[in-house]
Structure 1
């Protein structure tokens, strides 16, 4: 798993992006478990994720409505298969409105660029 931490900060909310190879929901669950073994990540407010597994799109907003769908859309556009991308957010106490989608999209762009997958 690759983790890019402290990549975006806005009004107290902080974002990280991570991911790795996954060919099944069980492997995505293993990636999430690995990520949350780190105490800092375990305390995060949201771990939104998406993947295209064996041609099937899967996503989870984890309370960040619409974030999983946005991540999935970006992965499908990039043609990325069997790779889960997780966007983590620590809520900072102020609502970000539509800016949260901009931050999720930027986090996925950073992941794709830094891993060379995009």
Structure 2
């Protein structure tokens, strides 16, 4: 599991990105459980995620951040990254970010993908 904290801070909201290899929905659930053992991530407002499985099946969750899972999934499809879950975590800072929140999700995923080959 790789965690990249402090990717973005905007109007009080903070973002981090994490990821790791998975081959099924069960492994995604195990990954999320492990991530949330870290109390900081367990207390986050949103842990949005997506994975593109080897057979082409896309799985995603917005975790209350409508549309965020689809953004992550589309980026994984574009880069043909398979069997690797990416989780974008947001701690809400009290101010609505509007469309900027989607740009922040994209930036987190880009940061993750550029940080080390998956």
User: What TM-score results when the alignment is normalised by the length of structure 1?
Assistant: 0.97
1:13 aligns with 2:20: no
Which secondary structure does the structure 2 equivalent of 1:97 belong to? coil
1:81 aligns with 2:85: no
Moved over 3 A (4+): none
Which whole-Å CA distance do the structure 2 matches of 1:31 and 1:15 have between them? Answer: 18
Which whole-Å CA distance do the structure 2 matches of 1:9 and 1:116 have between them? Answer: 25
Q: Deviations over 1:22-81 (max 9, x none)?
A: 100110111111111011111100000000123201100000000000000000000000
Number of residue-to-residue matches in the alignment: 117
The alignment yields a C-alpha RMSD, in angstroms, of: 0.7
User: What TM-score results when the alignment is normalised by the length of structure 2?
Assistant: 0.97
1:25 aligns with 2:31: no
Alpha-carbon offset, residue 9 of structure 1? 0.2
Q: Give unpaired runs (5+ residues) of structure 1.
A: none
